[in-house]
Structure formats: C-alpha cells, structure tokens
C-alpha cells in the first residue's frame, strides 16, 4: 500500500507548474533543471507550508516498470560503487521524512533529451524515506527508489546557485507567483529584466497520470 503523499496532488502540481513556467520563460534547460526544482520547491514548502524542507543532491535511482526493468539512473557506477558528481547527480527535496521530486512530471522530456529509448509516465513523486530500497540493486517494483545524498556536492551546487543573482531572482519570482490552494493563482505574470525589458510568463497546466 502506497503511503499518503505529504502534500496534496493539487498543491504538488501547482508547485511544479509555477517552477516549470518560470524556467521555460527564460529558455532554461528545464528537463535537466533538477537543482532549480529542488531549491525553488523547498523554498515554497518553507514559505507557504511551514515545512522543514531541504534541497539535496546525490545519486538517485528509480524503477519505472518491472517487466523491462527500465530505470532512471542519475549516478555513476565505478566498480560497483555508486557515486554522484557535478555532471552525474539528481536533486530532490527532503522534507518531514519524505523525499519529494517536483521534476518527475518532466521525466518524458528528460528521457527524450538524454536519448533513452523507453517511455516514462508523467507521475508525481512523493515517497517516505523509510520506504526507500536498501540499494540500487534491490529495486523490485515500479516506483522503488534509492537515493544517496552527497552533502559535499550539495554544498558546492548550492553555493554556485546562490552566487548567481539571476538564479536567486527566479526563485523569488516563483515565491511571488505561487499561491497555496485553494487560493486562486493568476494565469500570467509580467517579469522585468535588468535592462527594463518586460516579458510575460504564462502558467502552464501540466498534469500527471499517477504517482510513484
């Protein structure tokens, strides 16, 4: 039996849609922007839900389906040892005993951009840390995951992220735009850059077909 999500589906989708819309507005590599999704997602959970949420980077594995054993792998394997590096990692949010990934509805685009031959469902990911598989070699059912946090890499990535004023500004736009359901949220937002140019961001309405 799957554990109850920490936050409702509607809230999860709104957080995802706001972050995705802001990233797309600046032509970011959204399908690979896990660090931004985790940082902005954690900031929203802290601000609007008063949760103890932390963005964390590390090695991650997710079994997509059982028959073909297709697995999302964000790590490097060297002589059987799992490692995460600045070029091979995934970032998620650790919050109140849960692991939350606000990027998983974009996994079909992530797979396509990475050249993976299989198709991924658009699912929500909220899993209890206690339900994590003991290793990447023990993923048995669709939705089983294994995550190995890398504190040193997380610290380096966070320092690099917040050293960039533009990155901080985009997170603040997410916080400014987001409204916690059932409050209504405006369908578009106007953003002005340092040169005074105003652009319009439209809120995308991404959906999911289930949950991991």
Q: Give the CATH number for residue 14.
A: 3.10.550.10
Least confident window among 19-23, 83-87, 207-211: 207-211
Q: What is the pTM of this model?
A: 0.94
Q: Looking at the domain assignment, is residue 4 inside a domain?
A: no
Residue 52 lies in a domain: yes
Residue 78 is predicted with a pLDDT of 81
In total, how many domains does the chain have?
Answer: 1
Q: What is the pLDDT of residue 32?
A: 93
Q: Is the pLDDT of residue 119 over 90?
A: no
Contact between 208 and 125 (Cβ < 8 Å): no
125-156 pLDDT per residue, tens: 999 999 999 999 999 999 999 999 999 999 99
Q: Kindly report the three-state secondary structure assignment for every residue of the chain.
A: CCCCCCCCHHHHHHHHHHHHHHHHHCCCCHHHCHHHHHHHHHHHHHHHHCCCEEEEEEEEEEECCCCCCCEEEECEEECCEEECECCECEEEEEECCEEEECCHHHHHHHHHHHCCCCCCCCEEEEEEHHHCCCCCCCCCCCCCEEEEECHHHHHHHHHHHHCCHHHHHHHHHHHHHCCCCCCCCCCEEEEECCCCCEEEEECCCCCCCEEC
Q: Residue 77 sits in which domain range?
A: 9-211
pLDDT at 30 exceeding the cut of 90 = yes
Average pLDDT over all residues of the chain: 93
Angle at 209 between CA 13 and CA 16, to 5 degrees: 20
Of 19, 13, 95, give the one whose Cα is nearest residue 56.
Answer: 95
Specify the pLDDT at position 87: 93
Decide: 109 and 31 in contact? Cβ < 8 Å.
Answer: yes
Identify whether 191 is part of a domain.
yes
pLDDT value for 193: 67
Orientation of helix 165-177 relative to helix 151-162, angle to 10°:
90
Residue located via tokens 């002005």: 192
Is residue 138 situated within a structural domain?
Answer: yes
């Amino acid at each position: 039996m799957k554990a109850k999500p920490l936050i409702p589906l509607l809230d999860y989708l709104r957080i995802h849609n706001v972050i995705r819309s802001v990233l797309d507005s600046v032509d970011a590599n959204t399908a690979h922007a896990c660090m931004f999704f985790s940082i902005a997602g954690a900031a929203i959970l802290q601000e609007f839900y008063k949760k103890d949420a932390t963005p964390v980077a590390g090695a991650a594995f997710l079994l997509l389906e059982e028959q073909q054993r297709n697995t999302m792998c964000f790590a490097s394997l060297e002589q059987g040892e799992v490692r995460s590096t600045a070029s091979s990692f995934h970032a998620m949010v650790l919050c109140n005993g849960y692991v939350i990934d606000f990027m998983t509805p974009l996994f079909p685009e992530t797979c396509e951009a990475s050249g993976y031959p299989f198709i991924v469902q658009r699912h929500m990911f909220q899993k209890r840390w206690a339900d994590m598989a003991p290793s990447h070699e023990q993923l048995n059912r669709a939705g089983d995951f294994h995550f190995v946090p890398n504190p040193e890499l997380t610290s380096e990535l966070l320092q690099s992220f917040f050293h960039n004023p533009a990155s901080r500004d985009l997170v603040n736009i997410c916080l400014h735009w987001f409204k916690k359901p059932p409050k209504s949220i405006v369908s578009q937002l106007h953003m002005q850059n340092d040169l005074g140019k105003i652009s319009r961001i439209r809120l995308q309405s991404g959906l999911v077909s289930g949950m991991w």
